[in-house]
Amino acid sequence: MIELLRGFPDNVVAIRAQGEVTKKDYDEVLIPAVERTLTTHDKVRILYELGPEFDGYDAGAAWEDFKVGMEHFSRWERIAVITDVEWIGVATRLFSVFLPGTIRIYPHAEAAKARLWITQAA
């Protein structure tokens, strides 16, 4: 499940993943939020928090994640990933070389730093 987090500037899409993330979560929550943001901003910032209750992605969600990344390839400004899940950090580092924006990974103990960085002026 993906839920939108409130209290962020309108150029930031902030989400928390819990349980299993599905294609439906991307179709109904994440993709519409990104598309709304891109109607009023040239670039978007993403805060993606994966808590200890995160179980993983289904195949459809993994594909949607890739698709949304490629469809808006040049429009990612910053991505902050908050996670203590080691494989998520490794995968994020591997794929970060393919994205034009800046990506940082934060452990949950530094979630406040991630929120500050994602909202700071460039």
CATH architecture type of domain 2-119: 2-Layer Sandwich (3.30)
Q: What is the mean pLDDT of the chain?
A: 89
Q: What is the pTM of this model?
A: 0.88
Distance CA 45, CA 73 (A): 12
DSSP category for residue 34: H
Q: What average pLDDT does this structure show over 66-74?
A: 70
Q: Which two tokens stand for residue 18?
A: 């819990």
Alpha-carbon distance of 53 to 28, in angstroms, equals: 21
Would you place residue 24 in the very low, low, confident or very high pLDDT band (cuts 50, 70, 90)? very high
List C-alpha distances in Å: 20 to 11, 82, 111: 26, 17, 21
**Nearest one of 9, 14, 68, 83 to 41, comparing CA atoms:** 9
In which band, very low, low, confident or very high, does the pLDDT at 97 lie, cut at 50, 70 and 90?
A: confident
